[in-house]
Amino acid sequence: MSDDVKKPKPILQLVGVRKTFGDFVAVDRIDLDVRQGEFLTIVGPSGSGKTTLLRMLAGMDVPSEGNITLHGELINDVPPNKRPTCLVFQSLALFPHKTVGDNIEFPLKVRGVDKATRKARALELMRTVRLPEHYHGKNVMKCSGGERQRVALARALAYDPEVLFFDEPLSAIDYKLKKILEKELKDLHRETGKTFIYITHSLEEAMVMSDRIGVMRAGRLVQVGTPEEIYETPADRFVSEFVGEVNVIEVEKTASGWQGVDLPGLYAIKPPKEDGAARAFVVVRPEFMRLLAEDETADNCLEGTVYNEYSLGSRLQYQVHVGEKVMLVEVPRGREVKAGRDARVRLGFDARDAIVVGS
């Protein structure tokens, strides 16, 4: 079987897409294939260009350069209402004076679908997004925040789009409800088989829901991969630190190996990715950094002073000062060490648990 048969064609494809506003480059030459039926999340800090990218995909902005194709057809200038896509806004954009049913049925009413069919479809979608049927006649503004989120999802599905875009829809919701809706969105994606493209600044949201994650920085996609790839093999220091709290140690190449620049005596245990590089960064996640007993050793050992201890629910995190550096160590609850503030401790990490990245 040929590679063309094995590999499905992308539903959406971006080639050299660039968006400028005067002299400001918001999105800078992005190449990206979006697979049919996948849950792709674009993450990045504020100002990274992710919302501008979404607006171009949804047809609300036109690329300054490059092409966007849907099923191989150029859609750069195709308006949003002419695309088989739908956008769920952060503000939800529901009709406040209408009922839940009226909001969900709106796309069907615009298409001229008869009243009985509209209601039947609305009730079906309400079941899909886990809204009680008796909410059909309820004013949407009397619903809770989470219920309004579900109404917006049901209305988006009423368009029967091939691709659903989400612009940070969970950003204004409390933590507990957000965790519930994250799982429901992932379930909804599986149940509908639609292609989801989701924008968020929260890497935690992306890790929970996504098939693949694209990390943006300064208008560029710096890495695209599965949650596991992004977490375990970050492309650079920016991605490693964006994914979560990490210990970053700068190292330089010496005649005897890779030595810590700001931690003299520390030797990294595998070479950096860049051939011939004189310096690199060793990244160790807090859960792989250990507080060592007197008779315990590790590939790399350090000495420091406990500055503080933090409860993270099922885990405890220790902040340890090693010279001028602050190192983080996480241990499961029940395995905490008897080391109070200002106690001298030994900590270490093994070769297999280190990631070496460039700048």
Per domain, the residue ranges of the chain are 3-237, 245-357
Q: pLDDT at residue 121 above 90?
A: yes
pLDDT of res. 279: 83
Q: Which of the listed CATH numbers 3.90.1010.10, 2.160.10.10, 3.40.190.10, 2.40.50.100 matches domain 245-357?
A: 2.40.50.100
Looking at residue 305, its pLDDT comes to: 93
> How confident is the model over 270-297, as pLDDT tens digits?
655 555 678 888 899 999 999 888 888 8
Report the pLDDT value the prediction gives residue 294, as an integer from 0 to 100. 84
Give the least confident one: 3-7, 22-26, 43-47, 224-228.
3-7
Q: How far is CA 16 from CA 28, 29, 66, 250, in A?
A: 8, 4, 5, 34
pTM score of the predicted model: 0.86
At 57, which amino acid appears?
L
Tell me the C-alpha to C-alpha distance, in Å, between residue 289 and each of 88, 235, 302, 331, 350.
41, 21, 10, 9, 8
- Beta-bridge partners for 301: 348
Report CA-CA distances (Å) from 330 to 31, 56, 287, 305, 348.
38, 41, 5, 15, 12
pLDDT tens per residue across span 313-335:
888 899 999 988 899 999 888 77
The CA distances from residue 15 to 43, 54, 351, in Å, are 19, 15, 39
Say what the pLDDT of residue 217 is: 96
Query: Can you read off the two tokens belonging to residue 343?
Result: 């106690």
What CA–CA distance (Å, rounded) separates 281 from 252? 9
- Beta-carbon contacts of 65 under 8 Å, excluding residues fewer than 6 positions away, are 16, 17, 18, 29
Least confident segment among 64-68, 101-105, 334-338: 334-338
Residue found under tokens 């690329």: 63
Question: What is the Cα–Cα distance from 8 to 296, expressed in whole angstroms?
Answer: 51
Is 354 in contact with 268 (CB distance < 8 Å)? yes
Structure tokens belonging to residue 228: 């596991």
Specify the fold of 3-237: Rossmann fold (3.40.50)
User: Which two three-digit tokens encode residue 38?
Assistant: 């996948």
Q: Which two tokens stand for residue 162?
A: 């091939």
Identify the three-state secondary structure at position 200.
strand
User: What is the mean predicted confidence (pLDDT) over 176-199?
Assistant: 92
| C-alpha torsion sign, points 294, 300, 301, 306 | negative
CB 181 within 8 A of CB 172: no
| Chain CA centroid to CA 54, Å | 14
8 A C-beta contact, residue 346 and residue 302: yes
Between the CA of residue 229 and those of 163, 170, 233, 354, what are the distances in Å? 24, 24, 5, 15
**Amino acid 354: pLDDT:** 87
3-state secondary structure of 54: helix
Place 2 in a pLDDT band, splitting at 50, 70 and 90: very low
> Given the DSSP bridges, would you call strands 247-254 and 257-260 parallel, antiparallel or unpaired?
antiparallel
Report the chain's mean pLDDT, rounded to a whole number: 89
- Contact (CB, 8 A) for 260 and 250: yes
Asked if residue 274 lies in contact with residue 306, where contact means CB atoms within 8 angstroms, the answer is no
pLDDT digits (tens, 9 = 90+) for 29-52: 999 999 999 999 999 999 999 999
Average pLDDT of span 40-67: 95
